[in-house]
Amino acid sequence: MTTFSLRHLKLRTGEQFEGPVDIDLEPLVLGGQEYVPVPSTVPARLTVTKAATGSVYELSFRVRLQGPCFRCLADAVLEPAIRAREYHATKAADEELRSPYVGDEALELSAWARDALALALPDKILCRTDCAGLCPACGKDLNIEPHVHEEPGPDSRWAALEALRADDASSY
């Protein structure tokens, strides 16, 4: 877990610290599937700006995320650019003005980066935008082997109900 010590930052109102940091990222688990950041340690840029009532934290980084496609389970790769901003009030009674990533004079970079990455991901992670997925009948990858199946015949378990419907229709 990567943290950044705020203890040594002695900023006055309006002053700013900007510098590079390396952040350790853990794999994300979405929909029961694991998405791994490659490499697991990414270079980032951290900016801390001292405001009159608190501090503004900005984090930016790029990450390569690998895992299965939501539709066909083939390898999918995303490379989102992340830009996140947090405000932490110095003396605030309202919890909404306090960042959950700031505590004990440290900034929890790994947790913040993980949450920012999760928020930046698309609804479905796909290997390509036109992924056809898997065939619901046989399970084959429709990207590799596009095909259609013949329409299945009626289920024999419903034959008795079909006979009742046919008798009902003939009585009119």
Is there a contact between 158 and 152 (Cβ–Cβ < 8 Å)?
no
Give me the pLDDT at residue 171, please: 66
pTM above 0.85, yes or no: no
Is there a contact between 11 and 51 (Cβ–Cβ < 8 Å)?
no
Q: What would the pLDDT profile of 22-76 be if each residue is shown by its tens digit?
A: 999 999 998 889 999 999 999 999 999 999 889 999 999 999 999 999 999 999 9
Who contacts 167 (Cβ-Cβ below 8 Å, separation ≥6)? none
